[in-house]
């Protein structure tokens, strides 16, 4: 009987914990922040936010610099000039060991969710992005842009002035991976990283999210 009570309490703990997790996510995604800051109706720098339905990247122009623009090499995509760079933060196992969702292993997912794996910055060289439902354009002020670039730059682990690049096999020449600050978990995902950067830069977004959609719902309308 004692073992049965412990088991039931354990199930209840998991159930209520998951309920609290969902509650925090729902409330955080419904509360907009930076609602009074200028965006889109300003003269400034154009950036893009792009999602694949799960993961969000921040895309900034390579040709415009702020005082702390990250220093790294961007290779061209064949004959297409790579004038933009997409930045994403996330779990090392997801990025390097899971090219397709069908390749996802329980061990990789468990380590990521439980704060047990290292994080990486993914940098991809791109041509001019095209606006779509999954790729939104924002025009932000010079001050907002500098804060955002500082945030991206400070997400890299650095050895002096150099970034700690991770050598990989099987990835395209336009993709680079670097050691990153922080740890991925069920409470801090790639989308949480993007959302935190937008908040820090004074760009309208939601209070908190672990998924991509609340970010795009909260963006300032054109």
pLDDT tens, 131-177? 999 999 999 999 999 999 999 999 999 988 788 888 876 566 778 89
pLDDT of residue 83: 84
Q: Is 89 exposed, middle or buried (0-12, 13-18, 19+ CB in 10 A)?
A: buried
Does residue 179 form part of some domain?
yes
Confidence label for 117 from pLDDT (cuts 50, 70 and 90): confident
Instruction: Annotate 139-160 with DSSP letters as a single string.
Output: EE-HHHHHHHHHHHHTTB-EET
Instruction: Tell me the CB-side half-sphere exposure of residue 210, using CA atoms within 13 A.
Output: 14
Q: Is 106 exposed, middle or buried (0-12, 13-18, 19+ CB in 10 A)?
A: exposed
Instruction: Annotate 86-108 with DSSP letters as a single string.
Output: EEEEEEHHHHHH-SSGGG--HHH
pLDDT of residue 27: 92
pLDDT of residue 70: 46
How far is residue 71's CA from residue 89's CA, in Å, rounded to a whole number?
17
Does residue 163 form part of some domain?
yes
Does residue 22 form part of some domain?
no
Taking 60 as the threshold, does the pLDDT of residue 80 lie above it? no
Element (H, E) at 60: strand 56-61
Does residue 79 form part of some domain?
yes
Domain extent for 153: 31-218
Domain count, the chain: 1
Does residue 9 form part of some domain?
no
Q: Is 171 exposed, middle or buried (0-12, 13-18, 19+ CB in 10 A)?
A: middle
Does residue 117 form part of some domain?
yes
Taking 50 as the threshold, does the pLDDT of residue 46 lie above it? yes
Between 5 and 147, the more confident residue is: 147
Does residue 208 form part of some domain?
yes
How far is residue 90's CA from residue 184's CA, in Å, rounded to a whole number?
6
Between 24 and 12, the more confident residue is: 24
Does residue 202 form part of some domain?
yes
Nearest to 138 by CA among 211, 76, 205, 200: 205
Looking up tokens 């990835």, which residue turns up?
A: 171
């Amino acid at each position: 009987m004692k073992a049965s009570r412990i088991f039931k309490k354990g199930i209840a703990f998991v159930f209520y914990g998951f309920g609290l997790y969902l509650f925090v996510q729902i409330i955080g995604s419904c509360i907009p922040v930076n609602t009074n800051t200028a965006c889109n109706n300003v003269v400034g720098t154009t950036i893009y936010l792009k999602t694949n339905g799960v993961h969000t990247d921040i895309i900034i122009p390579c040709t415009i610099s702020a005082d702390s623009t990250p220093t790294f090499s961007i290779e061209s995509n064949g004959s297409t000039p790579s004038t933009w760079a997409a930045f994403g933060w996330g779990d090392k196992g997801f990025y390097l060991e899971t090219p397709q969702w069908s390749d996802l292993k329980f061990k990789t997912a468990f380590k990521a969710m439980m704060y047990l794996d290292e994080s990486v910055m993914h940098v991809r060289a791109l041509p001019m992005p095209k606006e779509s439902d999954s790729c939104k354009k924002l025009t932000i002020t010079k001050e907002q842009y500098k804060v955002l670039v500082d945030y991206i730059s400070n997400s890299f682990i650095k050895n002096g002035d150099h970034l700690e690049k991770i050598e990989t096999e099987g990835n395209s020449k336009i993709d680079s991976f670097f050691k990153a600050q922080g740890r991925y978990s069920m409470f801090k995902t790639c989308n949480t990283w993007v959302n935190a950067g937008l908040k820090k830069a004074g760009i309208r977004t939601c209070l908190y999210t672990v998924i991509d959609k609340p970010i795009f719902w909260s963006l300032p309308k054109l």
